[in-house]
C-alpha cells in the first residue's frame, strides 16, 4: 500500500537508484494557485548534500509536474510529479549484493518479496520521502489559506537537548542553522556532535518537535481516525522514526489528574485551555489550541565500522559500509515531519465538512 | 470513520449510555472454530467493576453473536456482535447537560457535531473499547493457530515503574494481581498508589508494555503501512493514550549507530539479531524477532476535585464530577492493547499472502 | 467486503436463518431528525408476505436502532440497527444439506468458503437486502431535505412491458398496486402473469426502472467514480440483477451522434438539455437533468419443477425445491433499487463538498 | 478518486493535452517477469491513428516505466509509468474556450471544479484510458500464468450486429480486421458504415462483447463486491459506455425460471453447468464457467454538424466541432474492455487467498 490519506491522498513511487521517484496527489481541491518556489524550497530543505551535517550524495531534486495543474492553478484532477534520480552511484553498493546490512530493511524485504535490490536500499531508502515533501508542501499552502502554520525543529541530537518548550523558542530561527534547531547555542553543540560522529564513521539519533498553530476546532474522528493517532501513524512511517508523543506524552504517565487536566476558560467567546497537556487534541479531535508532538529518530544504520551480519545464503560474515549517508537524519527529517503533519491536517480539514 | 483494518476489519458502534455497544467483523477467515469462553474472558479483563482499582460501574458485558458463525465455526461472512448496556445511571450525569468537562471530549464533540450527549461521554466513553476486545479476542485465537503469542502488562503507574525488561519478567504472572503487573512487589506498590489516588478523588497515569512473540517475518508494507506505524496508530487510538515507542523508542535518540544496530547472525539456518533495539521491525516489516512497544496513558480526566471550566453558553463556571470512574485506566487498558495488537497483526498476516 | 460507500457507508451483516440481520451506517451527518415511520414503510415495501405476488414467508421486519440516535436525531456516530429473524423454517431446507441448487450461490459459496450453510441460502439470501433498505431510507430522507426525489417502478414482468417512458407516467401511482407498476392496466396483466407462474411452480424475470429528480449538478468523479458506474455497481449488486443501462442505454449503440447528442439551452440562467439521452449524467458527473436507468432481474432460481444438479460429493442427482419463495422478485426489488440509488447519491453529495 | 482496485490498484493521472498521462500500479505481486512487447502491443491496439476507422490524431504512445521493475521483473513496489503527450494540437480547440460542447463533460466539469480546461476535454478525454491499458496488460500477463484468457470483440456497430454467440465465433480472428469483429463479412459492413458516418461528419455507437475463460471458481464477494457488479462498474467507467449486461442480461427479464436455470452436472469430478445464462457468475462469485458480458457505447459526441449549445456565460450559441475524433469508439474500446476485465479479475484473484 503506497497511498496515504483519505480525501487528500498521496500515492508514492520510486526507488533510491531507479529512474525517478515521485507521486500522484489525488483529492486536491480545484482552483488553488500554487507557489512553485515554496514547493522547491521544501525539497531543498530535505535535499541530500545541503550541508556538512548531511550525506554528500548530490541530487538536484528538481520537481517536475506532469498533470493536474493548468495556468498555475490546481484543476481538481490528479497532480502527478517526479524527480529524476541523477547521482546513482550504485558502485557504492557493489559489495552489498548478497549481504543483509544490520538494522536495515534488507532482510525483511528479501523475506517479504523474495528478492534483493542492492541499489542503496531500493524502496526503503529515505530518498523516497521526497514525494511526501512535495505533497506536504502543497498541503501546507492550502492550510496557510486557512491560517494554519506548521513548524518542526530539531530538539535533540544524541544527548544534547533543548530545555525550552516550543512556546519559549523563536521558531522563525529554525532555518538559521544547518541542524534546524531554533536555539543557536544548542545548535552549535549539535553540529559539533554530528561532525564528531561523522569523523568516527558513526551516526547518532535525535528528536524532532512539531507545532501546528491555528488548527480549526473539530478535526479528527471519534473512534479510529483520532487525530493524534493519525499524526502518530504519519510520522512513525518516516524512515528511522521510533517513537511519538502528543502533548504531555510519556510524562503524563507520572502525573495525577488534577495536575494534568487542562482547565477551560472563555475569553471574548473563544474557549481556550489554561494549560495544554492535551497537545491541542481531546477525544481524538482538535480543540483549537496548538497541536504539538515529538518524534524520536534512531541513529542511521549505515556505519563505517565493521559489523557482524549474515548473507543471503545464511552465512555469518563481516561487513563494512561504504556508501554516502547521513551521520544524523534529524535535520533533514524536519521538513518531512512538517510535510506529513500538513498532509494529515489538510486531509482531516477536507473530511470535516459539516452537512447543511 | 468507525472501521479499523484492511482485510480483517472491525466496524464499531455504540455509546456509553445507549442501548448497546458492539461491532461487525468483516474479513474473518472461514472455518475457524471459535472458543467463546476465551472471548468472554478477555471481556472480563476489560470489564468495569472487576476490582478495587477499577470503576465501580457494574456491567455483565456478556457478548451475543448475531451472525457469521454456524455450528461454532466462522463462515467467512460478517460476524456481528453486541453487548447490551444495563447499568445506565445517567443520573450520574445530571449536572453535566451544559458543562464541558476539562480534558474530556465534550467540547470537541460539541464543536464537531453541534450537539452534546451528556450521558457519560457518549461515543467517547472508554466503554466503546469493548468492541475492540471482542474483535481482538477472535484475532488472537487465529494468530495462536500460527503460534503468535501477545502479552501486555502494566509497567508503570505514576512514578512506580518496573525496572526489568520484558525478557526478564515472567509474563504468565501478569494476571496474578489486579493491576496486571508481572512483578508482584511492584504490583503491590501500584495498587497502593491507585487506592490512595482514589481516596483523594484523583486519578493517575501509567504505561502499558506489550510483547508479541513468534510473529512471522515479512508482515508490514514498505512505505505507508509500516507495521510499527500501524501498531502505533492502533494503540494511540485507545482512550487516554498519549505516546508510543517501539523497541529502543525515545532512548534511541541518545544512541550512536554502533550501539543501536542489531547484528544479524545465523543459527541452524534461522537468521536472528543479537540485540533487539529494532523491536522486531525493520524498514516497517517484521523481522521474526519479538515485537515490543510501550504505550503511555494519561490520568483519567474525571476527578472529584472542583475545577474551572466553561459551559455551552461560553460562561466560565466551576464544576465537580460525580459519576463512577477509574482512578487509573492502565490495568483495564492491558487487554485493549493486546486486542489492538492482535487485530493489526492478523490484518497484516492476511495482507501478506504471497502470490504464487 | 460487506461495506458499501465512501463517506456514507453501510456495513451489512446477517444470514437468512441466523439470529438477526442488520447493519451499521457510518458517516451519516449529525443533527438530522429522522422520521422512523418512513423507514419502517420502506421495510414494509420490501417485506416478504406482503401480497399474493410475493413469497409467503412471514416476517415482522421491525427495525430496532441500537446507537447513533439521541432524542430522535442523528448524532454523527455510527447508527447500528437490526431486525430479528423470526420465521426461520429451516425445515423447508431439510433436503438441501448436500445439494447445490441450480443457479443459486450454493456451489460458489462452498467453493469459496469450504462450507455449506443450508439454511435458505445463508448470506446469499435476498433477506440480506433488508439492511440496504434501512440505510437507503435514511439516505432518502436526507436527500429529500435537498429536494432530491427518487422513484423506481416495475416496467416489465416477463414479456409484459410498459410502453411509456417515465415522463409519460404518473409515478405517484406506483404504490397503488402490488406489482408497483404505475400503469394500472399493465399492472393487472403483470399480476395475472405472476399468478400463473406461481401456480406452475415457476418464476419469471422483469425490469425495474428508476428516476432521480433534482439531483444537484456536479455529483460524480471524473475517472473511476463516475456516477453512472457507481449506480450500476450498486444495483447490479442486488440479488438476481443481471443488467443495467443509463438513459439511452443499449439503444444508443444503434444511434448516430447527431441523433444522440443532447443540445444545451439556457433558460433563466439555468442550463438544461433538450433531450436526455445522457440520462442526467455526462462524463460521469450529474448535469442537473433527471437521472434515469433500468435494471434487469432474472427469474428467481427456486422452482418446484424437478431439476438435474450435483451434490457436494459431485454426484449427479435430481432435486425439487420446497421452501417458500417469490414467483417474481421485481415488485419487492423496487424499494431496494431506490435504496441503493439513495445511498449512492447521498454518498456523492457528501463527497462533493467544494473547498473554499 | 483516481484509484481503481482493492489489492491490485491503479492510480491514474494525466490530461489529454497536458505533458503526460500515466499511472502507478500498486499491489502487483513481486517476481513476475514482464513481457514489455505485449504491453506495448496492447497500447498499439488502443492508439489513435491506427486505421481509417479511428481518429487521425497521431501519438507514439510509447510507455516508459519509472519504478517497480528490476532486471525485467516486478519487485512488489509501485510500478509507475508514463506516456508523453506529443501531438497536442490545442489549436483544434481554439474556438472552444467558452463553449460547453453537447453531450461532453464540459458543463459538468465546469460546474464541479469551477474551471474550464478547453484543451480537448482535459481529464475527460478518452486518452486517459491509456493508463488502464498498461495496468490491464500487466494484469493479463499475470492471469495468463493462471491460464485465464480474456477476449473482447466488436459485436455491433450501429444497426449491424453479429448474430453468433461468442462460442460460435473464432475469437482468434478478432485482430484480423480494423473493427475487431471476428466475423470478416460483418466486419466489412461495419467498416463501410463507419466510413460513411465519418464522411458525413457524424458518429455511431456500438457494442463490445467480452469473454473470460478459465477463471477459477470462487472469485467475488457475497454482498457488495459481487464479481459481476465490479465488472459492470469497471467497464461502465470507460468513456462513452452506457450499459452492461452479464450472461443472459436484459433477455433474462423475459424468461421463466425453468428456462433460465443452469443445471449442474459433474464430469470427472468437475462440476459444470449445461447452459450458461449465469454468465459464469452465481451469487456474485465465479463458478468456473466462461464469464461473458456486453457493454454498449454511445456515438462519440464530437460531430461536425452545427449544434445548438450554451457558453460559460449561459448564452445560447451555435457551434461546430473541429478537432480530430473517432467516428466510432468501439474498435479502440475493445482493448480497454479487456484491460478493465483483467484488472478486476486479478484483483479478485489476489483478494481470494484462503486462510490456512
Band of pLDDT at residue B44, cut at 50, 70 and 90 = very high
pLDDT digits (tens, 9 = 90+) for C62-88: 999 999 999 999 999 999 999 999 866
Residue C172, Cβ density class (10 Å: 0-12 exposed, 13-18 middle, ≥19 buried): exposed
Residue A356: what pLDDT?
42
Total count of domains within chain C: 1
The answer to whether residue A5 neighbours chain D at the CB level (below 8 Å) is no
Closest CA to B96 of B338, B310, B342: B310
A108 vs B245, B285, B308: nearest CB? B285
pLDDT digits (tens, 9 = 90+) for C273-311: 999 999 999 999 999 999 999 999 999 999 988 999 999
Cβ distance B350 to D354 less than 8 Å, yes or no, reads no
Band of pLDDT at residue B48, cut at 50, 70 and 90 = confident
Question: Does residue D356 belong to any structural domain of this protein?
Answer: no
Give the whole-angstrom CA distance, residue A331 versus residue A342.
Answer: 18
- Grid cell 515529538 is found at A294
Residue D122: what pLDDT?
84
Closest CA to B291 of B257, B244, B239: B244
Indicate the angle between helix axes C36-46 and C130-145, nearest 10 degrees: 140
Dihedral of CA atoms B71, B75, B78, B81 in degrees, nearest 10, equals: 20
D18 vs A67, A76, A114: nearest CB? A67
A114 vs D20, D30, D115: nearest CB? D30
Question: How large is the C-alpha radius of gyration of chain A?
Answer: 21
3-state secondary structure chain B: CCEECCCCEEEEEECCCCCEEEEEEECCCCCCECCHHHHHHHHHHHCCCCCCCCCCCCCCCCCEECCCEECCEECCCCEEEEEECCCCCHHHHHHHCCEECCCCCHHHHHHHHCCCCCCCCHHHCHHHHHHHHHHHHHHHHHHHHCCCEEEEEEEEECCEECCCCHHHCCHHHHHHCCCCCCCHHHHHHHHHHHHHHHHCCCCECEEEEEEEECCCCCCCCCCCCCHHHHHHHHHHCCCCEEEEEECCHHHHHHCEHHHHCCCEEEECCEEEECCCCCCCEECCEECCCCEEEEEEECCCCCCCCCEEEEECCCCEEEECCCCCCCCCCHHHHHHHHHHHHHHHHHHHHHHCCCCC
Question: Does residue B356 belong to any structural domain of this protein?
Answer: no
Residue C356, Cβ density class (10 Å: 0-12 exposed, 13-18 middle, ≥19 buried): exposed
The answer to whether residue C233 neighbours chain B at the CB level (below 8 Å) is no
CA distances C218 to C80, C283, C287, D96, D342, Å, are 31, 10, 7, 21, 30
D222 vs B77, B222, B353: nearest CB? B77
The total number of residues written for chain D in this structure:
356
**Poorest-pLDDT segment among A173-187, C121-135, D43-57, D339-353:** D43-57
Listing DSSP states for D101-164 in one string gives: -TTSSHHHHHHHHS----STTGGGSGGGGHHHHHHHHHHHHHHHHTT-EEEEEEEEETTEE--S
pLDDT digits (tens, 9 = 90+) for A147-159: 999 999 999 999 9
Question: Does residue D93 belong to any structural domain of this protein?
Answer: yes
Cβ distance D20 to A70 less than 8 Å, yes or no, reads no
The answer to whether residue B115 neighbours chain C at the CB level (below 8 Å) is yes
Q: Is C209 within 8 Å of C293 (Cβ atoms)?
A: yes
Please check the confidence at residue C140 and state whether its pLDDT lies above 90.
Answer: yes
Q: How many CA atoms lie within 13 A of A224 on its CB side?
A: 24
Give the whole-angstrom CA distance, residue D101 versus residue D107.
Answer: 8
Q: Which residues contact B67 (CB under 8 A, 6 or more apart)?
A: B77, B78, B79, B80, C13, C14, C15, C18, C19, C20, C21
Residues of D whose CB is below 8 A from A21: 67
Band of pLDDT at residue A354, cut at 50, 70 and 90 = low
Residues of A whose CB is below 8 A from B7: none
Residues of A whose CB is below 8 A from C350: 353, 355
Neighbours of B320 (CB within 10 A): 11
Question: Does residue C182 belong to any structural domain of this protein?
Answer: yes
What number is the average pLDDT over the span C222-238?
Answer: 97
Count of C–D CB contacts within 8 Å?
Answer: 360
Residue B116, Cβ density class (10 Å: 0-12 exposed, 13-18 middle, ≥19 buried): buried
Give pLDDT tens digits along chain D (356 positions). 899 999 999 999 999 889 999 999 999 999 999 999 999 999 999 988 888 888 877 778 899 999 999 999 999 999 999 999 986 655 555 666 788 999 999 999 888 888 877 665 688 888 999 999 999 999 999 999 999 999 999 999 999 999 999 999 999 999 999 999 999 999 999 999 999 999 999 999 999 999 999 999 999 998 999 999 999 999 999 999 999 999 999 999 999 999 999 999 999 889 999 999 999 999 999 999 999 999 999 999 999 889 999 998 999 999 888 767 889 999 999 999 999 999 999 999 999 865 54
Q: Is C28 helix (H, G, I), strand (E, B) or coil?
A: coil
Give the whole-angstrom CA distance, residue C137 versus residue C143.
Answer: 10
Neighbouring subunits of A (3+ Cβ pairs under 8 A): B, C, D
Cell of B123: 461515543
CA distance D226 to chain B (A): 13
The answer to whether residue B2 neighbours chain C at the CB level (below 8 Å) is yes
Interface test with D, best of C243, C305, C313 (most D CBs within 10 A): C243
Question: Does residue D31 belong to any structural domain of this protein?
Answer: yes
Neighbours of D55 (CB within 10 A): 22
Residue D218: what pLDDT?
94
D286 vs C3, C108, C229: nearest CB? C108
Please check the confidence at residue C175 and state whether its pLDDT lies above 70.
Answer: yes
A355 vs C29, C222, C356: nearest CB? C29
Q: Is A22 helix (H, G, I), strand (E, B) or coil?
A: strand
Question: Does residue A356 belong to any structural domain of this protein?
Answer: no
Cβ distance C356 to A29 less than 8 Å, yes or no, reads yes
Cβ distance C2 to B78 less than 8 Å, yes or no, reads yes
Q: Which residues contact C279 (CB under 8 A, 6 or more apart)?
A: C228, C246, C247, C248, C249, C290, C291, C292, C293, D242
Neighbours of B72 (CB within 10 A): 10
The answer to whether residue A77 neighbours chain C at the CB level (below 8 Å) is yes
Helix (H), strand (E) at residue C350: helix C330-351
Cβ distance B32 to D77 less than 8 Å, yes or no, reads no
The answer to whether residue D250 neighbours chain B at the CB level (below 8 Å) is no
Give the whole-angstrom CA distance, residue C7 versus residue D207.
Answer: 34
Cβ distance C249 to D242 less than 8 Å, yes or no, reads yes
Band of pLDDT at residue B126, cut at 50, 70 and 90 = confident
Please check the confidence at residue B253 and state whether its pLDDT lies above 70.
Answer: yes
Please check the confidence at residue B354 and state whether its pLDDT lies above 60.
Answer: no
Interface test with C, best of D18, D116, D223 (most C CBs within 10 A): D223
CA distance C117 to chain D (A): 13
The answer to whether residue A224 neighbours chain C at the CB level (below 8 Å) is no
Cβ distance A355 to C222 less than 8 Å, yes or no, reads no
Cell of B243: 505516546
Count of A–C CB contacts within 8 Å?
Answer: 26
Residues of A whose CB is below 8 A from D80: 13-14, 20, 22, 82
The answer to whether residue D224 neighbours chain B at the CB level (below 8 Å) is no
Q: Is D173 helix (H, G, I), strand (E, B) or coil?
A: helix
Give the whole-angstrom CA distance, residue A226 versus residue A235.
Answer: 15
Average pLDDT of chain C is 92
Cβ distance D123 to A14 less than 8 Å, yes or no, reads no
The answer to whether residue C341 neighbours chain D at the CB level (below 8 Å) is no
What number is the average pLDDT over the span A224-253?
Answer: 98
The answer to whether residue B16 neighbours chain C at the CB level (below 8 Å) is no
CA distance B163 to chain C (A): 42
The CATH number of the domain where C258 resides is what?
3.60.150.10
Cβ distance B66 to C18 less than 8 Å, yes or no, reads yes
Closest CA to C278 of D107, A63, A327, B274: D107
Chain A: residue nearest B327 by CA? Answer: A257
Question: Does residue B187 belong to any structural domain of this protein?
Answer: yes
The answer to whether residue D90 neighbours chain A at the CB level (below 8 Å) is no
Give the whole-angstrom CA distance, residue D142 versus residue D134.
Answer: 13
**Number of DSSP helices (H) and strands (E) in chain A, helices first:** 7, 19
Cβ distance D1 to C4 less than 8 Å, yes or no, reads no
Domain limits for position D244 = 3-351
Residues of C whose CB is below 8 A from D289: none
Band of pLDDT at residue B118, cut at 50, 70 and 90 = low
What number is the average pLDDT over the span A335-346?
Answer: 98
Cell of B109: 464533540
Chain C: residue nearest A77 by CA? Answer: C222
CA distance A71 to chain B (A): 32
CA distance B316 to chain C (A): 26
The answer to whether residue C86 neighbours chain D at the CB level (below 8 Å) is no
Per-position b or e across C28-59, b if 16+ CB within 10 A of its CB: bbbebebeeeebbebbebbbbebeebbbebeb
The answer to whether residue A111 neighbours chain D at the CB level (below 8 Å) is no
What number is the average pLDDT over the span C236-257?
Answer: 98
Q: Is A308 within 8 Å of B266 (Cβ atoms)?
A: no
Residues of B whose CB is below 8 A from C83: none
Cβ distance D310 to C124 less than 8 Å, yes or no, reads no
Amino acid at each position: 500500500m503506497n497511498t496515504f490519506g483519505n480525501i487528500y491522498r498521496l500515492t508514492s513511487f520510486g526507488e533510491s537508484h531507479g529512474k525517478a521517484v515521485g507521486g500522484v496527489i489525488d483529492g486536491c481541491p480545484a482552483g488553488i494557485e500554487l507557489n512553485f518556489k515554496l514547493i522547491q524550497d521544501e525539497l531543498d530543505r530535505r535535499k541530500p548534500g545541503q550541508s556538512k551535517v548531511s550525506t554528500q550524495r548530490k541530487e538536484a531534486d528538481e520537481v517536475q509536474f506532469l498533470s493536474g495543474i493548468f495556468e498555475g492553478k490546481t484543476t481538481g484532477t490528479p497532480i502527478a510529479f517526479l524527480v529524476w534520480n541523477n547521482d546513482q552511484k550504485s558502485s557504492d553498493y557493489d559489495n552489498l549484493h548478497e549481504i543483509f546490512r544490520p538494522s536495515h530493511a534488507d532482510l525483511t524485504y528479501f523475506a517479504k518479496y523474495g528478492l534483493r535490490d542492492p541499489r542503496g536500499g531500493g524502496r526503503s531508502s529515505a530518498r523516497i520521502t521526497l514525494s511526501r515533501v512535495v505533497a506536504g508542501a502543497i498541503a501546507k499552502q492550502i492550510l496557510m489559506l486557512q491560517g494554519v502554520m506548521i513548524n518542526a525543529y530539531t530538539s535533540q541530537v544524541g544527548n544534547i537537548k533543548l530545555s525550552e518548550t516550543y512556546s519559549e523558542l523563536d521558531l522563525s530561527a529554525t532555518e538559521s542553522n544547518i541542524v534546524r534547531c531554533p536555539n543557536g547555542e544548542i545548535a552549535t553543540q549539535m553540529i559539533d556532535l554530528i561532525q564528531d560522529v561523522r569523523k568516527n564513521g558513526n551516526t547518532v539519533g535525535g528528536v524532532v518537535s512539531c507545532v501546528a498553530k491555528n488548527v480549526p476546532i473539530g478535526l479528527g474522528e471519534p473512534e479510529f481516525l483520532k487525530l493524534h493517532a493519525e499524526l502518530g501513524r504519519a510520522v512513525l512511517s518516516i524512515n528511522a522514526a521510533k517513537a511519538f508523543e502528543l502533548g504531555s506524552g510519556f510524562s503524563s504517565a507520572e502525573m495525577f489528574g488534577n495536575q494534568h487536566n487542562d482547565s477551560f476558560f472563555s475569553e471574548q467567546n473563544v474557549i481556550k485551555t489554561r494549560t495544554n497537556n492535551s497537545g491541542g487534541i481531546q477525544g481524538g479531535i482538535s480543540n483549537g489550541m496548538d497541536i504539538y508532538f515529538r518524534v524520536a529518530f534512531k541513529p542511521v544504520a549505515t556505519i563505517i565500522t565493521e559489523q557482524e551480519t549474515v548473507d543471503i545464503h545464511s552465512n555469518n560474515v563481516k561487513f563494512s559500509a561504504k556508501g554516502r549517508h547521513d551521520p544524523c537524519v534529524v535535520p533533514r527529517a524536519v521538513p518531512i515531519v512538517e510535510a506529513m503533519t500538513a498532509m494529515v491536517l489538510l486531509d482531516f480539514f477536507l473530511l470535516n465538512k459539516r452537512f447543511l
